[in-house]
Every structure is written in structure tokens, then in C-alpha cells.
Copies of this chain bind each other. A is one copy, B any other.
Amino acid sequence: MSDEEIQSDGGPAEAISFVYGFPDPDSFPIGDLIAACQTALREKGRTALQYGPTRGYGPLLDYLLAKFQRDEGLTLDRENLLISAGASQALDMICCLFTRPGDTVLVEAPTYHETLMILRDYGLNILQVPLDEKGLLVGELEQRLEWLAATGRRPKFIYVIPDFQNPSGLTLSLERREKLIALAHRYETLIVEDDVYRDLCYEARYAGSTLPSLYALDEGRTVLRLGSFSKIIAAGLRLGWIMAAPQWLNRLMDSGLAAAAGGANPFVSHVVADYCLRGLLEPHIATLVARYRLKRDTMLAALDANMPAEVSWTRPMGGFFVWLTLPPGLAAQEVRTEGEQRGITFLPGPPFFAEGGGENNVRLAFSYLSPQDIEKGVAVLGEVTRKRTNK
């Protein structure tokens, strides 16, 4: 993407944009990826460039299995994994194969806005369940499930981002994870666990969140878990995976798209496998954690220093986002309009809500900007907000 093209999506040119939930391009391991391309093509070009097995490239699957074992104590085999062209393509496949228009799905409020777009493309009826600082309100979820059951409907899945959620930055508590899984079993629905930020935890050891995934807690019975290399190597590679019980994965494997495509990107899979199998991913994640932790700390300190008392925000333990709540009556859109005149921009809350809300919320991405720009941008945001709050 050229800078020009970035700007066309993210606000006025030259603005400090808190819009992009993008990895930091200064973090891309360009030299190591050049070497991985050379090795993959030179040693395995005939398979890297051909249609591949539907499940994905075997050595990449095996690398991931070893990683899950080491980082999370999860014992899986290849039958539990499928390589996808990123987490969004995985969600798209799940919608195609497990839903029909008019089916109901449940999401967090707020949730990742581009997931909502995918769900809407499939004509799904989307219900939202609010969050608090411990994540999804499982009591509210239970009420909606009960009401659906009473009206003869069973949702197809509950879409949840348990770690360092996009857009809120919040982490679902262990107690609620367990309750969520119990509810999914009781009401016979699936959980789609979008877990793309897990490795970017700024409070624990280098390679993982402190809490087990929904998949691990459930032993994979009712959870389809999505992961990605987008945040931990590079988004432009478009490579991720789905972890699930064979009964779910086999339906995805038998799909026309999986068959016709011959596996999600064999070439990129070979490159990423070479990179990972040389032991480069683990130290790279450690540098990413240090890099993004500094940005998060910079943003939180700048918010502490600049925002008026009436504004609150989340303190994410990982991921890319901080979520602000402006005082009632102060619309995020109004702050953005003035902010853009002063050289900053961000996404207001409403696109992150399936059924409305978020008018006084702000999503700030800290992943893409430099610490200097984060400080400058938050200072401007603070000025604009203070002025509007004091009116």
C-alpha cells in the first residue's frame, strides 16, 4: 500500500492516524524473509509453486503443533488444524459452510467491525452482547440465548475475541471463559474464537497470554479457533489457521473453495515454514512485544497526562488497541471532526456495534504509529476533548 493509499482510507494526508490496526512496518523481518524465500524456492520450488494439500503444508502444520504444545501445553495433531489465507478468510469459510441467510449469530459489543461486514455479507441476523472490563457479560449472553431458545432459534455461533480484543483491548476473564463455554454447550451453539493477538501479550512471558484459550478450556469440542501470522510476522503474507475438532474441519476441507484452491497459499506457507523452522519466530515475537509494549505504555501515559477526568479508557494487556469512553453527550464524531482540522484522526465507536451504540467511544490503535506520533496525537486529542468537555 502506498502512503497515498493509506491516507485515502485513514483520514487526511499528513494526519497522525490512530485508525490503522496494522502491524508496525519497521518490525517486518525483511532480511530473514528474503532468505526464507530463497531457501523455500531453491529447495522446494516444485511443491511451493504447485497446488498443495487441502489442509496446508505439512511442515508448517507441524511447526504450529509444536508451538501450541510448548506455549500452551496443548496436545493436538494435524487433524485439528487447517491453514487459511488469514483469519478473515477462515471466518468467511465458516460463514459459507455453517450458516444460511437469516441464521442468528452473537457477537460482543463492541467487536471487530470488519467481522460485522463479513457476517452481514452472509445475510446473518447479528445480535450483540455488551462487555465490561472483564469482557463479555455472560449473564447478558445467557439472557439472549434463553430468549432465542424460547422463540425456537438456535444461534449458529458466538464470535468472541477473548485476548486483547479489537476494538476494546479487553481480555475475557477465566471465570467468564468457563461460563461462556458452558453456555455454548447448554444451548448447543459453536464458539468462533478469534485469537490473533495472543502472542502479543505485554504483561507475561514472551509467547503468550496468561489465560488459556477457549479452545483449550473446552478441549476443542465446541470451539473453532482462528489464528494468524499477520500480527506476528507480516499482514501482507495473508496466512493463518483454524484449530478445531475434525468434525468441523472436515466440512471446511471438503468445501469447493478448499478443493479448488489446493490449500491456502502453498508458496507463502513454504516461506513462513522455513522462517519458523529456523527458530526465527520466537525471538521475533520477543522484539515485537518490546516494541508494542513501549507504544502501549506511551499511549497510556499520554492519555493519563492529557485527557480530562470525564474520559475513561481501557488498559490493554496486549494487542493493538485502547478504547476510550467520552462523557455522555460528547460524540466521538464531533471530536474527530475537530481533530482532523488539527491533524489527527481515529475511528469512532459506532461501526464496532452490530445493533447500535458507541457514539461516545473512540478506538485508538497504537500499533502503527511511532511513540513520538502517539504522544503528539494524544496531546491534540486531549486538547480537543478538554475543550469540548468544558463547554
Contacts and interface: CB of A to CB of B under 8 A. Distances in A.
Interface string A224-250: 000000100011111000000000000
Contacts of A114: 256, 259-260
Contacts of A265: 85, 236-238, 265, 268
A150 B390 CA distance: 68
A319 interface: no
Given A1-B50, A100-B101, A256-B115, A261 B86 contact: yes
Contacts of A47: 1-2, 25, 236
Contacts of A261: 85-86, 88-89, 238
For this chain, the copies found in one complex come to: 2
Contacts of A34: 37-38, 41-42
A26 B33 CA distance: 25
Interface string A199-225: 000000000000000000000000000
A352 interface: no
A25 B49 contact: yes
A182 interface: no
Contacts of A237: 49, 265, 267
A192 interface: no
A268 B269 CA distance: 12
Interface stretch (A116-124, A138-146, A284-292, A320-328): A116-124
Nearest to A1: B52
Interface in A45-73: 45-53, 58
A101 B115 CA distance: 21
A313 interface: no
Nearest to A114: B260
Contacts of A50: 1, 22-23, 25, 28, 234-236
Contacts of A230: 51
Interface residues of A, number: 65
A240 to B, nearest CB: 10
Contacts of A88: 256-257, 260-261
A236 B267 contact: yes
Contacts of A119: 256
Given A47-B1, A50-B23, A118 B260 contact: yes
Interface of A: 1-2, 5, 22-23, 25-26, 28, 30, 33-34, 37-38, 41-42, 45-53, 58, 85-86, 88-89, 91-92, 96-97, 100-101, 114-123, 230, 234-238, 255-257, 259-268, 270
